[in-house]
Amino acid sequence: MSFPFEYDTGAQLPFGGVLPHVATFDASKVVILPVPVDRTTSYVGGTRNGPREILVASSHMELWDEEVGADVHGVGMYTLPEMELPFGELPAVMDEIRRVAYEVIARDKFLITLGGEHSITPPLVAAAAQKFPNLSVLQIDAHADLRSTYMGTIHNHACAMRRVLDYASLTQVGIRSLSTEEAEAIPELNTNIFYDATMRRDPQWIDRVVDTLQDPVYITIDVDGMDPAIMPATGTPEPGGLSWYEMLALLKATLMRRRVVACDIVELSPLPGLVAPNFLCSKLIYKIITYRFAGR
Amino acid sequence: MSFPFEYDTGAQLPFGGVLPHVATFDASKVVILPVPVDRTTSYVGGTRNGPREILVASSHMELWDEEVGADVHGVGMYTLPEMELPFGELPAVMDEIRRVAYEVIARDKFLITLGGEHSITPPLVAAAAQKFPNLSVLQIDAHADLRSTYMGTIHNHACAMRRVLDYASLTQVGIRSLSTEEAEAIPELNTNIFYDATMRRDPQWIDRVVDTLQDPVYITIDVDGMDPAIMPATGTPEPGGLSWYEMLALLKATLMRRRVVACDIVELSPLPGLVAPNFLCSKLIYKIITYRFAGR
Amino acid sequence: MSFPFEYDTGAQLPFGGVLPHVATFDASKVVILPVPVDRTTSYVGGTRNGPREILVASSHMELWDEEVGADVHGVGMYTLPEMELPFGELPAVMDEIRRVAYEVIARDKFLITLGGEHSITPPLVAAAAQKFPNLSVLQIDAHADLRSTYMGTIHNHACAMRRVLDYASLTQVGIRSLSTEEAEAIPELNTNIFYDATMRRDPQWIDRVVDTLQDPVYITIDVDGMDPAIMPATGTPEPGGLSWYEMLALLKATLMRRRVVACDIVELSPLPGLVAPNFLCSKLIYKIITYRFAGR
Amino acid sequence: MSFPFEYDTGAQLPFGGVLPHVATFDASKVVILPVPVDRTTSYVGGTRNGPREILVASSHMELWDEEVGADVHGVGMYTLPEMELPFGELPAVMDEIRRVAYEVIARDKFLITLGGEHSITPPLVAAAAQKFPNLSVLQIDAHADLRSTYMGTIHNHACAMRRVLDYASLTQVGIRSLSTEEAEAIPELNTNIFYDATMRRDPQWIDRVVDTLQDPVYITIDVDGMDPAIMPATGTPEPGGLSWYEMLALLKATLMRRRVVACDIVELSPLPGLVAPNFLCSKLIYKIITYRFAGR
Amino acid sequence: MSFPFEYDTGAQLPFGGVLPHVATFDASKVVILPVPVDRTTSYVGGTRNGPREILVASSHMELWDEEVGADVHGVGMYTLPEMELPFGELPAVMDEIRRVAYEVIARDKFLITLGGEHSITPPLVAAAAQKFPNLSVLQIDAHADLRSTYMGTIHNHACAMRRVLDYASLTQVGIRSLSTEEAEAIPELNTNIFYDATMRRDPQWIDRVVDTLQDPVYITIDVDGMDPAIMPATGTPEPGGLSWYEMLALLKATLMRRRVVACDIVELSPLPGLVAPNFLCSKLIYKIITYRFAGR
Amino acid sequence: MSFPFEYDTGAQLPFGGVLPHVATFDASKVVILPVPVDRTTSYVGGTRNGPREILVASSHMELWDEEVGADVHGVGMYTLPEMELPFGELPAVMDEIRRVAYEVIARDKFLITLGGEHSITPPLVAAAAQKFPNLSVLQIDAHADLRSTYMGTIHNHACAMRRVLDYASLTQVGIRSLSTEEAEAIPELNTNIFYDATMRRDPQWIDRVVDTLQDPVYITIDVDGMDPAIMPATGTPEPGGLSWYEMLALLKATLMRRRVVACDIVELSPLPGLVAPNFLCSKLIYKIITYRFAGR
């Protein structure tokens, strides 16, 4: 925006807040897309507030990463305004998400989408697969989300990963909640499941996860994949799940060993007064950017 | 339920809690129907918790009404279990609500439905109109809810009263929020609007409201019709609105002067830790029952 | 912002959300300036979140005003990004606020500033007085804020109106909290005080307030001037205070009878999970714009 | 307390915080007694936090009263530490409250007790009646609290005023919740009830309340006597009730026309994050002290 | 319940919600008994809400257990209504709990009791010991609860396990808070204590715990035995404690190696707005049922 | 305090509540100093409530330590009233903190200061260094706090440890957030940093930390050094951090192997309704006292 006078602007909700290095869309390698899909009708609560609270939190991060010894924000991080939703029935919403995501990915940007419900992932994967055939998807989640239909629609978040199978192969990590119907269907599906209750028995479990993935890779993180101790701010907080450092180790291994082309973080449902989960999401995204771009 | 041994049961969430006089469905004049329609996907928050919290609160009420000098619970108040929702797309939900409501009303019960979103009112009014032709509807609400369609569907709560006009004439009280499109459409619609900002200038405003209604009458109360001072627990809490005693005076006049056949209370979205709004709804319902049945 | 592809943007936090009529800075009669001054050091809580929560709420308002029968948003409402604060010690902050405010007011915009603490009002009044000599200030507030110094600084919010007296004459409404030192100093000061406990004894009190004001007028609204029943979200919520309709009547009379050139709304300290106070502030601002521009 | 070095102490939770005029017990006309009786077993929540939150809030009050034009704190306000409770079964607790209260009252102090549950009022009234025979009690409350026994004990808060009738005559104001048993017992009891639903029909209702009282007078304020709009922080927040200015007018009339010897404020159950109700209680107490001692 | 028309009922608060397989009391192997004993007097907060929130959460669980590869709900899970409490002084409450528990256990049901305070455990253990002599009790808890009396009563929750020693031998796990009096008494008592601070030093600690138990076994879980990171919703949340997977491993070993006849989960004090702890309790119970009945 | 009658006082907010052994200032080895420095202007929220909530929590602790097998409170723990702040600009506040701290330390007391913001640590260290030359400081923190200046002042909490370097050498543990400027300055500074992301790779990391410290030692604990799972109640809760038992092991090793002369606990910003973090701080302090004085 331009004004007819000098003006020091503050946090207008770009990721990272007011950064030393500000990049245009064209000059940015990373594009953040907030998609607050949430079928509630009031403005109170729910995942619709997830993207905004992540962006608010992000302006309080420090930019140096002591683990890799770098400050990568200079690669350019461009935050799009929230998508205007809902503007119609769900199929139209899904088409629009796919169209916008493709516009970004087709321009060789690393797209990071902020949800919203997990139901946004299928069109995002579809957009990525359109640009990058033979896509593998890494899903970190408590729930398999493999139902065929749920509550009368195929667009419910409980079906998100079943839809994703139309576009990509799947590896699922941290799973610890399944319906009996899903359990019965799994043997027929093109998915590798790493159950939370048992995956740690193999000290090499992270390498084994990455082994199942083939380039290129899309990562979808349902925040309920993490332990409710650090992530209580989600709709169905299942006990168990990944710790902060397990999550980082898994992401680092995947981003170092595979060509990751896009990712999403979904299902954050901010808890009034409790900022820790929002801040964690913000830092998780910056860690992904750091692992993806440091030293390249 | 029956058990194979003696058992003092506690609050199983019937309206009023464990009452001195417990009535069967057949022997009850009043039937409470909880319909927690809410298009959220997690179990946290929202109007889906409204019916349950009203019922929890109701067990803490005392039963004597000092204003009319009576304890009317002996007319029989029967609470149905929550309707199982959602079991499909919205049109199917709406048909099922209408079917169940008609089953109750057809048996000459006074039906009190607990929402849930305001979108449940059209099928409830349709059921009442099927039994009682020439129905008038009294709506207490901050919002006109007269849009033709909204967010791609005619079932949105912002369209609820436009749908109601298909079945009944309408009187709207406490209105203080309108879109420009609605303002332009109103002159063509079969509705009497009492705007919150101006209605109190006529000291006889309550009588004038009742004058617009013809027997039989259905009452729909969107809790946001009340002042957010006493009713902050709703999706869009508009400043202004009815006080507790204005609400009681309006309901008493309507119930005394007209034959009210059913009603609903909708859009309570309980606030964690704040029980006052839930308790108010519970007492409001008991006041309606008292005004309706005391001395008859 | 411009992107290399078509994009339906959602709520980027302009006042009113995504409006039918979007105006440039130059074409707008109204300019909204968020100034989240708050001397806390963490990002949790406090008045620093006030402007953002007001803007979030504003996207859920409807645009028609049923009281005056108009939708005024077409006059152009332009929202500046949040001022970047703090960038130094308080005197420098105050100078910058005054500079920016003057830039806006000098361009004949109607400036509405969103606080932040009440300490931002003196530089705002100074900017307005620079453009409009002989300024009167109408303050709606629970506290007189007339201390000479407080906690070792003249910039504390408890001294805000004592500073304002350097630039303008003062009328104070809703006052119900004073220190003994202030009570003793008042007879010497150029201020008219309408105490909350007694002002309503004169049925013409609103006209009497306006009588004390001379053109041009600046309005400063400390949200604690209102009843905590509708405005609990502030640092020191004093019982008593203006109701919603008293506030509207006072603003309407002032805006109709006097030439109001700018205003501010300060000291909203959002309560997690309770949106009603935020929404009220948003609606209050739109009411001011409506009263100011409808029919002109 | 004395320390071996100079020390500016901060808020140690005396009523009013660090006051300009600090008085010893002997030199104080007012004594504040915190009695956090609450039969919960954890330290979270409930009326046990009421006294502490009132005292915390009190340090943020300003000391001048603009209504009567005085700063009365110089009469001496001495705050006792919280009574150590519970130290046994309820009868022993009640005896100890009575003993301590008598110690204070017998020394010609104006005792203000902070609850805790309403069950503490009978021993407080007993202590006052021991010193001042022919006591009248003014109760401001939503509930009659006239049950004979409740939940197997005569010490339940629902029986508090039935116990009080053993020591004094009674006037009850703001009542709007009764059990059917109480309604039937009332004609036999020595009590004057002013029902909230009807008392305002008589414009002289406040004078009529005072007329029922004979010197000396004890005042017991259950905070639920006030409107939940301003007092949501209580166990059973009944809609309706006294506004802030109705409460002040009633207290002023009583304190001006009658010789009030002691009072209590009970049933504040602080809501986490919402300070307005706590602050209101603190200010209410200072208003009582001001009305009681200004100009005497 | 039966109605005179077809009706799809929703969540009426049975454990697990609306299950595919619904069993009668007689046909159920598992019986859930909610006992919300809590000596508070208002309806806000506290352990009295524990059972209800666990049941609400339970309807959002999925039924397949991926660890053991089974869906066991078909064994029949019958939820009794909440016991009506309190109906008298504590000894009578305790007698009634014992009577009802015995009625269930005597019918060869696996009884799972939901508290409420820990004070309900002694009568539950007494009922189990009446049916199953030579009972061992496994207690998971932060507190030893071995005081002789506390606050003037032997029924306080701080004395619960001292009472239990009258009926059974005891093994205590996760202990990390003791009074000096308890520490001195422990050598004389029939209890094995595994202190949280030291028990993990033995990699076989879980086996060692089970070795101390003899058939039959009763398990009592005070939720504060778990780490406050995952269980902040309790009265005295002691840092340290069992993780989710430590808890599961301990329960699995006990249920596999010993004949467990009944259990209870107590001291959940739900935190408004934070569902994770409630959901965890619900899942913990289903895990117990799964470990107990899978493959048998 | 003394009263003219017998009085069992309750929790007056001394650390530990009403203790069996009560000591005078002179007879106490431990002195607790609450310093609620927080530059907010309202009384709601923030670190200003930290000391009070720690003291409230402390009265619910049990006094026996099962790890070392001792109850050390008999060494005398004396709690000073909160320091009266702010009484001027920051430099004056800092001078006063230093003066008071020196008065305590000079009398050979073990001083434990409760913050408040981390900005109070430099004057505390200065006071300790005045008494004990060649001081080492152990800092447990998420943030390095090594900026030269921040927001226009050298007293900001982001600069606290840079100031400390003027008086002592430094060892920093748990660090996981740095600005790029700090990262560049660190090689020139007299500090040993143990980064949270990497320190656990050395199984002897705790010994290595202690090895960097020389007698005498001052410990400063910013609560955000701990994992937000157990410590969400702080301004910038960084994911990662020390667990409860890691913290205890580090403190035990330091207190056993080095002569620790004073410590502080800062940056607790209590979350309304969530007592676990407050209780943890209270227990952490008692653990420090136990490790420091048991067996000496």
Render pLDDT for A91-120 as a digit per residue (tens, 0 to 9): 888 999 999 999 999 999 999 999 999 999
Q: Is D227 an interface residue toward B (CB < 8 Å)?
A: yes
pLDDT of residue F8: 67
Where is pLDDT greater, at E179 or B19?
A: E179
Split at pLDDT 50, 70, 90, the class of B91 is: confident
Partner-chain contact D177 B61, CB within 8 Å: yes
C47-63 tens-digit pLDDT: 989 999 999 999 899 99
Torsion of CA E148, E154, E156, E162, to 10 degrees: 40
Chains within contact range of chain F (3+ C-beta pairs < 8 Å): A, C, D, E
F70-93 tens-digit pLDDT: 999 999 999 998 887 655 677 888
The residue of chain E with its CA nearest to that of D235 is E42
Q: Residues of chain D whose pLDDT is less than 50?
A: 1
Identify the residue among F180, F200, F230 best suited for mutation to test binding to A, counting A beta carbons within 10 A and taking the highest.
F180
E137-160 tens-digit pLDDT: 999 999 999 998 876 778 788 889
Chains within contact range of chain C (3+ C-beta pairs < 8 Å): A, B, D, F
Give the rounded percent of residues in chain F with a pLDDT score beyond 70: 93
Is D211 in contact with D226 (CB distance < 8 Å)?
Answer: no
Give the Cα separation of A225 and E82 in Å (integer). Answer: 34
Identify the residue among F238, F243, F244 best suited for mutation to test binding to A, counting A beta carbons within 10 A and taking the highest.
F238
The residue of chain E with its CA nearest to that of D38 is E40
Identify the residue among C56, C66, C221 best suited for mutation to test binding to B, counting B beta carbons within 10 A and taking the highest.
C66
Beta strands (DSSP E) in chain B are 30-35, 77-79, 110-115, 136-140, 169-175, 191-195, 217-222, 260-266
Mean pLDDT across chain C, nearest whole number?
92
Q: Is F84 an interface residue toward C (CB < 8 Å)?
A: no
pLDDT at B88 over 80: no
pLDDT at F1 over 90: no
Region for D182 from its dihedrals, namely left if φ exceeds 0, alpha if ψ lies in -120 to 50, beta otherwise: alpha
pLDDT of residue C27: 93
pLDDT at E1 over 60: no
In angstroms, what is the C-alpha Rg of chain E?
18
Give the Cα separation of C32 and C282 in Å (integer). Answer: 11
Partner-chain contact D67 C271, CB within 8 Å: no
E33's enclosing H/E stretch is strand E30-35
Classified as helix, coil or strand, B21 is: coil
Query: In the structure encoding, which two tokens stand for residue A155, read together?
Result: 């667009």
Q: What is the DSSP string of chain F?
A: ---SS---B---S-TTSS-SS---TTT-SEEEEEE-----SSSSSSGGGHHHHHHHHHTT---BBTTTTB--GGG-EEEPPPB---SSSHHHHHHHHHHHHHHHHHTT-EEEEEES-GGGHHHHHHHHHHHSSS-EEEEE-SB----S-BTTBTTSGGGHHHHHTTTSEEEEEEE-BB-HHHHHHGGGSSEEEEETTTGGGSTTHHHHHHHT--SSEEEEEEGGGB-TTT---SSS--SS-B-HHHHHHHHHHHHHHS-EEEEEEE---PPTT--HHHHHHHHHHHHHHHHHHTT-
Query: In the structure encoding, which two tokens stand for residue C189, read together?
Result: 């000061």
Give the Cα separation of F62 and F70 in Å (integer). Answer: 12
Partner-chain contact C46 F46, CB within 8 Å: yes
Distance of CA A28 to the CA centre of its chain: 19
pLDDT of residue D8: 67
Mean pLDDT across chain A, nearest whole number?
92
Chains within contact range of chain B (3+ C-beta pairs < 8 Å): A, C, D, E
- A235 neighbourhood in chain B, CB within 8 Å: 41-44
Query: In the structure encoding, which two tokens stand for residue B102, read together?
Result: 């008609």
Residue type, C1: M
pLDDT at F67 over 60: yes
Give the Cα separation of E224 and D211 in Å (integer). Answer: 55
- C61 neighbourhood in chain B, CB within 8 Å: 177
Query: In the structure encoding, which two tokens stand for residue F85, read together?
Result: 């702040």
Chains within contact range of chain E (3+ C-beta pairs < 8 Å): A, B, D, F
Helices (H) and strands (E) in chain B, counts: 8, 8
Where is pLDDT greater, at F154 or E248?
A: E248
pLDDT at E249 over 70: yes
- B159 neighbourhood in chain C, CB within 8 Å: none
| F residues 247-266 lying closer than 8 A (beta carbon) to E | 248
In angstroms, what is the C-alpha Rg of chain D?
18
pLDDT at E33 over 60: yes
pLDDT at E3 over 70: no
Q: Is A62 an interface residue toward F (CB < 8 Å)?
A: yes
C199-240 tens-digit pLDDT: 999 999 999 999 999 999 999 999 999 999 999 999 999 999
pLDDT of residue B19: 86
The residue of chain E with its CA nearest to that of B56 is E43
Partner-chain contact C279 B239, CB within 8 Å: yes
| ipTM reported for the complex, 2 dp | 0.94
Q: Is F83 an interface residue toward D (CB < 8 Å)?
A: yes
Buried b (16+ CB within 10 A) or exposed e, D259-276: ebbbbbbbbbbbbbbbbb
pLDDT at C149 over 70: yes
The residue of chain A with its CA nearest to that of E68 is A197
Is F130 in contact with F102 (CB distance < 8 Å)?
Answer: yes
Partner-chain contact D275 F43, CB within 8 Å: yes
- A238 neighbourhood in chain E, CB within 8 Å: 279, 283
F115-125 tens-digit pLDDT: 999 999 999 99
Split at pLDDT 50, 70, 90, the class of F279 is: very high
Q: Is D41 an interface residue toward B (CB < 8 Å)?
A: no
Is D34 in contact with D19 (CB distance < 8 Å)?
Answer: no
Helices (H) and strands (E) in chain D, counts: 8, 8
F115-153 tens-digit pLDDT: 999 999 999 999 999 999 999 999 999 999 999 887 677
Split at pLDDT 50, 70, 90, the class of B38 is: confident
**C-alpha closest to that of F82 among D12, C58, C3:** D12
pTM of the predicted model, to two decimals? 0.95
Partner-chain contact F178 A66, CB within 8 Å: yes
B155-199 tens-digit pLDDT: 788 889 999 999 999 999 999 999 999 999 999 999 999 999 999
The size of the A-B interface in CB pairs under 8 A is 65
pLDDT of residue B155: 79
Where is pLDDT greater, at F11 or B121?
A: B121
pLDDT at C87 over 60: no
Q: Which DSSP category does E296 fall into? A: -
Q: Is E227 an interface residue toward A (CB < 8 Å)?
A: yes
Partner-chain contact C107 A4, CB within 8 Å: yes
Partner-chain contact E238 F275, CB within 8 Å: no
Identify the residue among D42, D90, D224, D268 best suited for mutation to test binding to E, counting E beta carbons within 10 A and taking the highest.
D42
pLDDT at C256 over 70: yes
Buried b (16+ CB within 10 A) or exposed e, A77-90: bbbbbbbbbbeeeb
pLDDT of residue C42: 59
pLDDT of residue D44: 60
B229-282 tens-digit pLDDT: 999 999 999 999 999 999 999 999 999 999 999 999 999 999 999 999 999 999
Give the Cα separation of D59 and C256 in Å (integer). Answer: 41
Residue F65 backbone dihedrals phi, psi, to 5 degrees? -110, 110
Partner-chain contact D279 C183, CB within 8 Å: no
Mean pLDDT across chain D, nearest whole number?
92
Where is pLDDT greater, at E9 or A109?
A: A109
Q: Which of E60, E71, E283 is nearest residue A239 as measured by Cβ atoms?
A: E283
Identify the residue among F38, F41, F118 best suited for mutation to test binding to C, counting C beta carbons within 10 A and taking the highest.
F41
Partner-chain contact F283 E179, CB within 8 Å: no
Partner-chain contact B228 C66, CB within 8 Å: no
Query: In the structure encoding, which two tokens stand for residue C149, read together?
Result: 């110094």
pLDDT of residue C97: 94
Q: Is B85 an interface residue toward E (CB < 8 Å)?
A: yes
The residue of chain A with its CA nearest to that of C100 is A7
pLDDT of residue F52: 93
Q: Is C41 an interface residue toward A (CB < 8 Å)?
A: no
CA distance B130 to chain C (A): 34
Split at pLDDT 50, 70, 90, the class of A6 is: confident
pLDDT of residue F216: 98
CA distance F274 to chain C (A): 14
Q: Is B83 an interface residue toward E (CB < 8 Å)?
A: yes
Q: Which of E61, E66, E227 is nearest residue A175 as measured by Cβ atoms?
A: E66
Query: In the structure encoding, which two tokens stand for residue E33, read together?
Result: 């008994």
C190-199 tens-digit pLDDT: 999 999 999 9
Strand order in the sheet with E217-222: E77-79, E30-35, E110-115, E260-266, E217-222, E136-140, E169-175, E191-195
E39-49 tens-digit pLDDT: 765 566 689 89
